């Protein structure tokens, strides 16, 4: 079973739990507190693409944000769209070999069906590299249901911090983040695209359900199982997208712990999960870590 198919089952279970306890009225995405004698860093597991009416903020999060002298994100959530398009053209487009040339027939058929289901076509993506097509396809069902990056948790907090002139730091540039995908071996890119296309074809679409699972904050059930399956079934993807990045980010946060004050980190929720997640890595480095939401 792929990581994406397992995720669907877990998402459905978490959605039912949220419904039983009142859904968004009890929303509390996961957040941890990392402390030493004079420094506190809050680790918040964000979701990058959300519907604009999702009520995810809590008093605990707002207190952490208000206390923070600096806010950290994976990369700039308010990057210039023209800059992003130029980077995708540079790293995500292959003018020499079409996408369908790189894919086995079964994956071509799955991708074609997934795109047509959401009103697209192979022509739209045939010059994209597999990783770029996978990223586009992964958010397509959600965006067609009204979700957007602009409504995501990190983009929302970025706008708030900019307006308040609160200092912002990022772990990666937009180009560094795109190059992470572009540096994947082609076979891994194809696996990634095949998984995303298969997931898209497995009804129901999980965009809204994934929002509900994230709102539950049930990382003990959702996060580690998804991450563990990725680690087992897609080790190259796991190493590139989670483990190595988390280790680099943890080292950056260790340096921040030498500076007295309060900071807030808002990165994708899966970066908080498992033994290679940020809470575990910071605890392993000797800091006090406790979940506060």
For residue 247 the two structure tokens come to: 């280790």
Distance CA 70, CA 41 (A): 10
pLDDT, tens digit (0-9, with 9 covering 90-100), for 214-231: 888 878 766 766 788 888
Count how many Cα atoms sit within 13 Å of the Cα of residue 248 in the half-sphere of its side chain. 13
- Token pair 């540039």 is found at 173
Average the pLDDT over 101-110 and give the result.
90
Instruction: Find all residues with CB under 8 Å of 20, minimum gap 6, and list them.
Output: none
Average the pLDDT over 16-29 and give the result.
49
Average the pLDDT over 242-268 and give the result.
97
Q: Quick one: what percent of the chain has pLDDT higher than 90?
A: 54
Check residue 35 and report its DSSP letter. E
Alpha helices in the chain (DSSP H): 3-20, 59-67, 81-91, 99-102, 105-117, 122-125, 130-144, 153-164, 174-182, 186-201, 207-216, 223-233, 235-238, 244-256, 278-284
Annotate 202-243 with three-state secondary structure: CCCCCHHHHHHHHHHCCCCCCHHHHHHHHHHHCHHHHHHHHH
Distance CA 110, CA 198 (A): 6
Q: Are 130 and 192 in contact (CB under 8 A)?
A: yes
Least confident of 7-11, 199-203, 287-291: 7-11
Q: Note the pTM of the prediction, 2 decimals.
A: 0.85
pLDDT at 201: 66
50: β partners: 148
Q: How confident is the model at residue 110 (pLDDT cuts 50, 70, 90)?
A: confident
Closest-CA residue to 120 (of 210, 128, 190):
128
- Residue ranges of domains in the chain: 3-291
Distance CA 24, CA 30 (A): 14
């Amino acid at each position: 079973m792929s990581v994406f198919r397992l995720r669907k089952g877990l998402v459905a279970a978490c959605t039912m739990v949220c419904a039983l306890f009142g859904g968004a009225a009890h929303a509390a995405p996961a957040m941890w507190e990392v402390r030493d004698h004079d420094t506190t860093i809050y680790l918040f597991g964000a979701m990058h693409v959300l519907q604009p009416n999702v009520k995810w903020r809590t008093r605990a999060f707002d207190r952490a944000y208000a206390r923070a002298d600096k806010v950290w994100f994976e990369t700039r959530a308010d990057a210039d769209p023209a800059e992003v398009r130029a980077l995708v053209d540079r790293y995500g487009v292959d003018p020499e070999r079409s996408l369908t040339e790189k894919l086995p027939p079964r994956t071509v058929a799955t991708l074609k069906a997934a795109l047509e289901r959401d009103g697209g076509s192979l022509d739209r993506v045939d010059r994209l590299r597999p990783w770029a097509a996978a990223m586009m396809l992964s958010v397509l069902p959600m965006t067609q249901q009204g979700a957007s990056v602009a409504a995501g948790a990190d983009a929302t907090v970025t706008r708030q911090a900019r307006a308040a002139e609160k200092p912002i730091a990022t772990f990666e540039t937009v180009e560094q983040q795109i190059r992470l995908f572009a540096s994947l071996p082609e076979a891994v890119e194809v696996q990634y695209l095949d998984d995303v296309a298969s997931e898209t074809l497995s009804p129901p679409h999980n965009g809204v359900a994934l929002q509900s699972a994230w709102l539950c904050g049930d990382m003990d059930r959702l996060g580690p199982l998804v991450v563990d399956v990725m680690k087992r079934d897609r080790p190259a993807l796991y190493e590139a997208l989670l483990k190595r990045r988390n280790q680099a980010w943890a080292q950056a946060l260790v340096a921040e712990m030498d500076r007295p004050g309060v900071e807030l980190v808002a990165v994708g929720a899966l970066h908080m999960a498992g033994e290679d997640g940020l809470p575990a890595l910071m605890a392993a480095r000797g800091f006090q870590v406790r979940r506060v939401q």
